[in-house]
Copies of this chain bind each other. A is one copy, B any other.
Amino acid sequence: MSSTYQYRRISKEDAAVLFVDHQCGLTALVQDYPPSEFKNSIMALADMAKFFNLPTILTTSFETGPNGPIMPELKEMFPNAPFIARPGQINAWDNEDFVKAVKDTGRKQLIIAGIVTEVCVAFPALSALEAGYEVFVVTDASGTFDQASHEAAWLRMATAGVQLLNWFAVGSELHRDWRNDIQGFGKLLCDHTPIYQSLMTSYAAKG
């Protein structure tokens, strides 16, 4: 048996997380996921980034305008992360400070989420792919106007070579083995998966 396919999976040692334009104004545009589901996915990805201690970069576009400030929870979780308030570039990769921040992480795997999917996510994802990075887009922590819009964007990215995952797969691919930290990882899942939390509570209740 032989195969030319190489499964490049996300690694704690190789990956960085990019939050692109998760701004308060822009969240109002998102309708491909219900609001509480969407917010939960973003915060789950943030918790994953923190739990695995991944280099994380925040970037925004026109915070002082109607796009609004970055979601406060994100800023609070990553107070020391590079925060690139882009002066105008729509594609974050067109901003030199952003690209430099990415390079400075020394990582070659980029986990990207943002609003809206077909612009703020797809543009830097395709640019990073061209620059030789392995690119992973977090489908449920990225949102847009409607399902047709994300379906088109997913096809554009997938056929280019981007790998699509939800936050649950990102966390699982990073963690590899529950034994690395059973309590910590279990708490992460519970905090963002209500039914998993219910199972845990029921389980614990039985004693």
Q: Which residues of A contact B (CB under 8 A)?
A: 1-3, 5-7, 9, 24-25, 27-29, 31-40, 61-63, 65-69, 71-72, 87-91, 94, 108, 116, 118-119, 122-123, 126-127, 129-133, 139-140, 145-156, 158-161, 163-166, 168-169, 172-173, 175-180, 182, 192-203, 205-206
Contact = CB atoms under 8 A, between A and B. Distances in A.
A166 B161 CA distance: 20
Given A108-B1, A139-B148, A90 B25 contact: no
A24 B39 CA distance: 22
B152 A166 contact: yes
Oligomeric state, in number of copies?
8
Contacts of A149: 139-140, 166, 168
Contact of A198 (B25, B172, B179, B205): B25
Given A1-B108, A65-B203, A133-B1, A194 B39 contact: yes
